[in-house]
Structure 1
Amino acid sequence: MFVKLKVIAESLSVILKSILTAFLVLWLPYWGLYIFSLAQLSYTTVLVLCYVIYFTKLLGSPESTKQQALPVSRMTDMLPRITRSRAFVNWEEAKLTWSFFKQSFLKQILTEGERYVMTFLNVLNFGDQGVYDIVNNLGSLVARLIFQPIEESFYIFFAKVLEREKDATLQKQLMIHPTSFPLPRPQEDVAVAAAVLESLLKLALLAGLTITVFGFAYSQLALDIYGGAMLSSGSEQLTINLQVDPHVPSAFSYQMRGAGPILLRAYCLYVLLLAINGVTECFTFAAMSKEEVDRYNFTMLALSSSFLVLSYLLTRWCGSVGFILANCFNMGIRITQSLCFIHRYYQKSPHRPLAGLCLSPVLLGTFALSGGVTSLSEVFLCCEQGWLARLVHVAVGALCLGATLGMAFLTETKLIHFLRTQLAMSDIVQG
């Protein structure tokens, strides 16, 4: 896996895309949508060039161990050509390509499906779409910067430790795995994977709960700082309408002002589900057999259809927040599938990694208390009482966050040990 290459290529592409977008917006604003089209084209071009240059150099070094592991020996092998058997299509590779295409297509629907609903079904006006895009981009920063690298790194770890098509009782035994954190005695690979999975689940749950609990009380302040009153408490309204017949007055209809904070609060809940789903799916995809992956893709097909329908219905019912609620439903189904697989995988072994989803009652109480205190602080101090009140509101949140993290440090000692060991190993690798 060329993880370092991927990180460098995507980082460079995103940086250049952002610089080009900012430059064109400032100097050629009348270009309008052409600016973003050119920026996206530059992103794709730089990304492809990074991969082409890297693999051209790699394939030119026969002594490289990475080059020997590749299924091609020169760049032209990646281009379409007629094989020695004079067949224009290699059907074995075509089936593999089709499998990847199906999975990518379904993943695209599940991750970007709401945008297709917005574009083709006209369920939101451009103003609502703008607010939704701003909130979606802000909320997804945590997922992209924190959860996605963790998911990708530990997918590689699980894929190396576990053998596919074997359940937990058939995995091989060996001494401490070189890429895992140190253990005091010889362990089965499956035990190492179970220990890591349990710690990752607990870490994802704690991070997601922290974002959800404190995000509810600080969404309005964050949007007010970022975009002013137009985003935090502007004229946007959320209408929940249970009207069945358009000719009959609705039996239950009301409006809530400030669609931006409502969207961001809902997105905080979605981030919690994203965190858990990332960990469970990285293990599931690393341990599944080919037949299980094919069955999962079939399930994703049904899930994609239901997600699009649910997005349309919820958006018609409660506005742009319906997209986030549909995404939450989608993530909940995917998490349930992964948890069922993990439960079956370890069912006949003594390991119970799903215990990582159980937190101490004292810690849960601390989260609940912090959520209540920060919510009251928001009511009385945010966001129309001036900057002094806002600073007090932030100070209240900082104290509650410190108390919550301190309680987590005291109650989740196993997780703290895992994090310390990972940090120590990363220092050793870098040194």
Structure 2
Amino acid sequence: MGSEDVLKSASTLASYNVLLQVMFRLLTFFLNAFTLRFVSKELIGVVNVRLMLLYTTLVFLSREAFRRACLSGDGAGRNWRQVINLLWFTLPLGCFWGVLLVCVWWWLLQAPDPQTVPHYVPAVGLFCFAALTELLAEPLWVLAQAHMLIRLKVIAESLAMIAKCLVTVVMVVSAPKWGLYIFSAAQCVYAGFLLLCYFVYFLRFLGSADAKKKAFPLHHVSQLLPTRIKGQPIINWKLATLTWSFFKQSFLKQILTEGERYVMTFLNVLNFGDQGVYDIVNNLGSMVARFLFLPIEESFYVFFAKVLERGRDVQHQKEEEVSIAADVLECLLKLVLLIGLIITAFGYSYSHLALSLYGGELLSSGTGPALLRCYSFYVLFLAINGVTECFVFAAMSKEEVDRYNLVMLGLSASFLMLSYWLTWLFGGIGFILANCCNMVLRITHSLIYIQHYFKHSDHAPLSGLRPHPAVLIALMISSVLTAFSESMFCCDSGWLLRLAHITTGAVCLLGVVIIVFLTETRLVQFIRTQLIPKYSKKDT
């Protein structure tokens, strides 16, 4: 598959992933707003912080390293039977982490009040079981991603999420006294649907005419199971070594990604009610980031990993591959930077209104609006870091990955200490401030790497971080106008004044978009040709 084909597939994958994330977050958005009317904020805090931390930690530590290693390089010349064997190690690794984490969650962490949050102990076991169920689909997920089976992920995760939401809504309305059993059952349903969709798809796909047309390397369902290969090692040891390097890094990355939840869980800096409010605000603030930045990062990591040869400097890469990688990186940086700047400019003036509409007095009073305003600034760092690290992790050699693990170790330790200190001083806002500091350091490292990587070429992808002056002026004017509008019309006034505030923001946003369209012509062309799904064409 040529670099243009890889770019086309990665772009289509990114577009579908964006749509998938939009659907996920909208469903979660409305689900949280709905459940807030039926359950306590303490129950929300235990589910969204403590139990989901158990789930994400177990899943991330068990599979992230395997995903990054097995999606690196060109899969065409790879022995996929060896890759499948390696991927099945995620399950015993998950069992190990599951036993360890469940013991910690049961015996070392403070249990919530059973009167307020019932059924905590069985809920921990059920969340662990759901995570192990999802790991069973991991070999199928990697096969689908590596061979650009784009619709599979969208359909599987969509059905699983819809099923989870339906179970939650029905049980919250009909049996709210079941407490954590409601959310445990919903999580198990999600993992079960995910596994079922992948299994049914490959059961029909393997050996079909479509599989032969795509030159799919496996032909029978039995080849999806771990098997011995005559005359060859059971796994690719080079790939296993790379997996180990990523595994050491993934442990540190998980601490950085979920650092505030670890601090809340293990250091008890916030009670369960405050944890629930913080998590809801955090999810609301990160919606756009997860809608757009995460799918772009996941999809274009695959693109960069396939186009660039890992560990080789730019002088030893094909000129065509380097050129297209640099152009894509520049456009992606410009895209996420503009989105981040828009969120930062408008977030300050619309945080209070958003929380008031979403959760009423429960969220709009107290520290909620201040948390969301800080988060709108943090989104800018999230945007840049996602794309820069996406490129860096795809281009790094194994030795560079190992060296970066030491950097991540220092970042993890400093982040945890900074989180505890700033939270002690500023409450929940301290978590966001600590995340901002951490992101600045990670972005700085990535920018230095990218600058060094392209220094012997004619490409300067970091120029994507320089927006047009007209765009900056438009954003500054918009932030001033919307701040004035908030002071005049929002947020304890009637609906007509709130509507006036919303209209002011909509007009300002439209003006910014028009200026971007007129000044950032190269970016507009990139979006038109690469990121807008071509639904009329069949997926590759």
TM more than 0.5: yes
Q: Who is 2:346 aligned against?
A: 214
Contact 1:113 1:308 in 2 (8 A): yes
Structure 1 residue 44 corresponds to structure 2 residue 191: yes
CA distance in 2, matches of 1:44, 1:295: 35
Give 1:223's aligned residue: 355
Following superposition, the deviation at residue 348 of structure 1 comes to 1.0
- Name the structure 1 match of 2:212: 64
- Contact 1:61/1:67, CA 8 A, preserved across alignment: no
Q: 1:372 to 1:93 in 2, by over 3 A?
A: closer
- Partner Cα distance (2:503, 2:333) in 1: 30
Tell me how far apart the structure 1 counterparts of residues 377 and 417 of structure 2 sit (CA, whole Å): 21
Q: Taking structure 2 as the reference length, what is the TM-score of the superposition? A: 0.67
Q: 1:401, CA displacement in angstroms?
A: 0.9
Structure 1 distance, partners of 2:498, 2:250, is 44
Write the mapping of 1:344-363 to structure 2, written as runs, cut at 5 A.
344-363=452-471
Residues 172 and 189 in structure 1, CA contact (< 8 A), matched pair in contact too: yes
Select 1:205's aligned residue among 334, 337, 344.
337
Give 1 or 2: higher helix fraction.
2
Q: Work out which of the residue numbers 298, 302, 305 in structure 2 matches 1:156.
A: 302
Residue 108 (structure 1) shift = 2.1
Aligned partner of 2:249: which letter?
Answer: Q
Tell me which of 280, 286, 294 is aligned to 1:140. 286
Q: Distance in 2 between matches of 1:333 and 1:418?
A: 29
* Larger mean Cα displacement after TM superposition, 278-287 or 416-425: 416-425
SS in 1 for 2:258: helix
Rounded to whole Å, the distance in 2 between the matches of 1:43 and 1:371 is 41
Name the structure 1 match of 2:19: none
Deviation at 1:24, TM superposition (A): 0.9
Aligned-pair distance for 1:331? 1.8
**SS state at 2:286 partner:** helix
Match of 2:516 among 408, 412, 415: 408
Where does residue 256 of structure 2 map in the other structure? 110
Task: Look up the match of 1:264.
Answer: 372
State the alpha-carbon separation in 2 of the partners of residues 90 and 368 from structure 1: 54
> Which residue of the partner structure matches residue 319 of structure 1?
427
The CA deviation string for residues 67-99 of structure 1, in whole angstroms up to 9 with x for no partner, is: 7536x97547644x88989x9999767645544
- Residues 44 and 287 from structure 1, CA distance in 2 versus in 1: closer, same or farther, beyond 3 angstroms? same
Q: Which secondary structure does the structure 2 equivalent of 1:347 belong to?
A: coil
2:402 pairs with one of 294, 302, 307: 294
Map residues 1-400 of structure 1 onto 2, 5 A cutoff: 1=146, 2-59=149-206, 64=212, 68-69=216-217, 75=222, 78-79=225-226, 95=241, 97-173=243-319, 188-232=320-364, 234=365, 236=366, 259-400=367-508
Secondary structure at 1:69 match in 2: coil
**In 2 relative to 1, CA 213–293 (structure 1 residues): closer, same or farther, beyond 3 Å?**
same
Alpha-carbon distance in structure 1 between the residues aligned to 2:239 and 2:395: 23
Structure 1 residues 408, 227: closer, same or farther in 2, change over 3 A? same
Q: Check conservation: 1:168, 1:346, Cα contact below 8 A.
A: yes
Task: Indicate how the Cα distance of structure 1 residues 101 and 28 shifts in structure 2: closer, same or farther if over 3 A, else same.
Answer: farther
Kindly provide the CA deviation profile for residues 320-368 of structure 1, in whole angstroms up to 9, marking residues without a partner as x: 1111112222222221121111101101111111001011222211111
The structure that has the greater radius of gyration is 1
CA distance, structure 2, for counterparts of residue 102 and residue 6 of structure 1: 27
CA distance in 2, matches of 1:407, 1:204: 16
Conserved in 2, the CA contact under 8 Å of 1:217 and 1:375? Answer: yes
Distance 1:226 1:189 in 2: 46
Asked if the contact 1:366/1:404 (under 8 Å) is kept, the reply is yes
Aligned residues: 391
What are the Cα deviations for residues 248-306 of structure 1, in whole angstroms up to 9, with x where unaligned? xxxxxxxxxxx111111111112111111121122112222222222223322222222
When the two structures are superposed, what TM-score results if normalisation uses the length of structure 1?
0.82
- 8 Å CA contact retained: 1:9, 1:51: yes
Answer whether contact 2:246 2:401 (CA < 8 A) is retained.
no
> Quick one: distance in 2 between partners of 1:430 and 1:217?
43
Give 1:372 shift. 0.9
Q: State the one-letter code of the partner of 1:69.
A: P
| 8 A Cα contact 1:164 1:286, kept in partner | yes
User: What corresponds to 2:12 in structure 1?
Assistant: none
**Once the 2 structures are TM-superposed, how far is the Cα of residue 48 of structure 1 from its aligned partner?**
2.5
Higher relative contact order, structure no. (Cα contacts within 8 Å, ≥ 6 residues apart):
2
Give the 3-state SS of the residue equivalent to 1:426 in structure 2. coil
Correspondence for 2:46: none
Change (3 A) 1:51 1:100: farther
Q: Distance in 2 between matches of 1:305 and 1:78?
A: 39
Rounded Cα–Cα distance in structure 1 between residues aligned with 2:446 and 2:514: 31
Residue segments in structure 2 that go unaligned for 5+ positions in a row: 1-145
SS of residue in 2 equivalent to 1:193: helix
Structure 2 CA distance for partners of 1:425 and 1:46, relative to 1, 3 Å: closer
Q: CA RMSD for the aligned pairs?
A: 2.8
Percent identical: 59
Match of 2:114 in 1: none
Classify 1:297/1:134 alpha carbon distance in 2 versus 1 (closer, same or farther; 3 Å): same
Contact 1:58 1:64 in 2 (8 A): no
Deviation at 1:170, TM superposition (A): 2.2
- The whole-number CA distance in structure 2 between the counterparts of 1:103 and 1:270 is 23
Distance in 2 (alpha carbons) for counterparts of 1:344 and 1:226:
46
Flag structure 1 segments of 5+ consecutive residues without an equivalent.
Answer: 174-187, 237-258
Moved more, 15-24 or 97-106: 97-106
The answer as to whether partners of 1:164 and 1:287 remain within 8 angstroms in 2 is yes
- Structure 1: how far apart are the matches of 2:318 and 2:150? 26
Distance in 1, Cα, partners of 2:524 & 2:223: 50
Counterpart residue type for residue 167 of structure 1: D
Counterpart residue type for residue 323 of structure 2:
A
- Any conservation in 2 of the 1:132–1:260 contact (CA below 8 Å)? yes
